[in-house]
Chains A and B, each alone.
Chain A
Amino acid sequence: AQKITQTQPGMFVQEKEAVTLDCTYDTSDPSYGLFWYKQPSSGEMIFLIYQGSYDQQNATEGRYSLNFQKARKSANLVISASQLGDSAMYFCAMREGVHNQGGKLIFGQGTELSVKP
């Protein structure tokens, strides 16, 4: 069974600083995908970044990067130059297997990030 763990219920960061949100996963499937989503107070789920298990390089999307450490089974999200608008819940998620093959996305418990001015 797959499992996603986010151990930080809440995090604070000063505006313009970088912050790392932790995520560890557990799977026996060699093929999997890791995702990060942002959920602001409005409730919508916003896709941020993706990392495939076979990807050689860490994924980056603008101010978001994913620190993928396969041996440690961790996929931490790094947000650089935090902005007030980054205050939200952040969810890590995993899918086993290849996409479009019916694999479901399982979510971690989430981390609430608060950016201080």
Chain B
Amino acid sequence: SAVISQKPSRDICQRGTSLTIQCQVDSQVTMMFWYRQQPGQSLTLIATANQGSEATYESGFVIDKFPISRPNLTFSTLTVSNMSPEDSSIYLCSGETGITGELFFGEGSRLTVL
């Protein structure tokens, strides 16, 4: 299966700032997704990262807050804008692969907003 690298793995951020998370896959994937996992919670889909076009956002998530880029089939970024303590979460990048289309995940980016 493919390998996803995410950077940063963790960060401590100040309220009101923005942070960009990078996701690099070692092979081309058709579908890439960004998930959020709040402390003690399950994974919630933020958006589907579409190659060369605007991301498709889930209900409750907007582009102004979580701008996403995907310039090619192996790379995507997620920006968490104007952060507040409520944005403290693990953000996970994932790609779809395999015969069954299972998702494989990066190790996540753990953000703490003070």
Partners in one complex: yes
Asked if A104 and B102 sit within 8 Å, CB to CB, the answer is: no
- If A99-B96, A104-B33 touch, whether A47 touches B42 (CB-CB below 8 Å) is no
Stretch at the interface among B62-70, B75-83, B105-113: B105-113
B30 part of interface (Cβ distance < 8 Å): yes
A94-112 vs B, Cβ < 8 Å mask (1 yes, 0 no): 0100011011111111100
CB distance from B55 to the nearest CB of A (A): 12
Contact residues in A for B42 (Cβ distance below 8 Å): 91, 107-110
CB distance from B99 to the nearest CB of A (A): 8
B103 nearest in chain A by CB position: A105
Report which of B58, B102, B107, B108 forms a contact with A47, defined as CB distance below 8 A: B102
A50 part of interface (Cβ distance < 8 Å): yes
B53 part of interface (Cβ distance < 8 Å): no
A42 nearest in chain B by CB position: B107
Asked if B100 and A33 sit within 8 Å, CB to CB, the answer is: yes
Report how far A110 CA is from B40 CA in the complex, Å: 10
A45 part of interface (Cβ distance < 8 Å): yes
Report which of A52, A99, A100, A105 forms a contact with B45, defined as CB distance below 8 A: A105
- If A43-B110, A107-B43, A108-B42 touch, whether A102 touches B48 (CB-CB below 8 Å) is yes
Asked if A44 and B104 sit within 8 Å, CB to CB, the answer is: no
B23 part of interface (Cβ distance < 8 Å): no
Interface residues in chain B, defined as those with a beta carbon under 8 Å from any beta carbon in chain A? 1, 30-31, 33, 41-45, 48, 58, 90, 92, 94, 96, 100-105, 107-108, 110
